[in-house]
């Protein structure tokens, strides 16, 4: 997975407006979320692609044995599929919305 250089972040600090969260239950993402860690059997539902147009998201499974599923809220797709399952601990995807659908632009599997 490609990590963008963030000069506004120093090691050990957190930006006030950063949207980072660990989820242990299913979650409907907000358009301003950035990084979501799934810790358990969870479904992370993306915001609509039009609402998330030109936004990037990173979703990662941190549980040792349970799946994190990424879903779209409607007929939108993620690289042509309605869901993506992160089935191994530390699997991750980097997603981009073009305003109509989501595209996987990087992953770590």
- Integer angstrom CA distances of residue 4 from 9, 65, 95, 106: 11, 28, 13, 11
How far apart (Å, rounded) are the C-alpha atoms in residues 44 and 102? 14
Residue 14 belongs to a domain: no
pLDDT at 78: 98
pLDDT at 6: 42
Residue 6 belongs to a domain: no
Residue 72 belongs to a domain: yes
Tell me the residue range of the domain where 67 lies: 20-108
In total, how many domains does the chain have?
1
Residue 7 belongs to a domain: no
Residue 24 belongs to a domain: yes
pLDDT at 19: 82
Q: Give the SS3 label for residue 45.
A: strand
CATH number of the CATH domain containing 100: 2.60.120
Block means of pLDDT (10 residues each) for the chain, length 109 residues? Answer: 41 53 96 95 97 96 97 96 97 97 91
Residue 1 belongs to a domain: no
Residue 98 belongs to a domain: yes
Residue 13 belongs to a domain: no
């Amino acid at each position: 997975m490609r990590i963008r250089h963030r000069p506004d972040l120093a090691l050990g600090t957190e930006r006030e407006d950063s949207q980072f969260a660990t989820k242990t239950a299913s979650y409907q993402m907000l358009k301003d979320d950035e990084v979501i860690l799934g810790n358990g059997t969870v479904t992370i539902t993306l915001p609509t692609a039009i609402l998330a147009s030109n936004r990037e998201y990173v979703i990662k499974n941190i549980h040792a044995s349970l799946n994190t599923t990424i879903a779209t809220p409607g007929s939108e797709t993620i690289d042509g599929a309605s869901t993506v399952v992160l089935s191994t601990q530390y699997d991750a995807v980097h997603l981009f919305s073009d305003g109509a659908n989501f595209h996987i632009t990087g992953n770590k599997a």
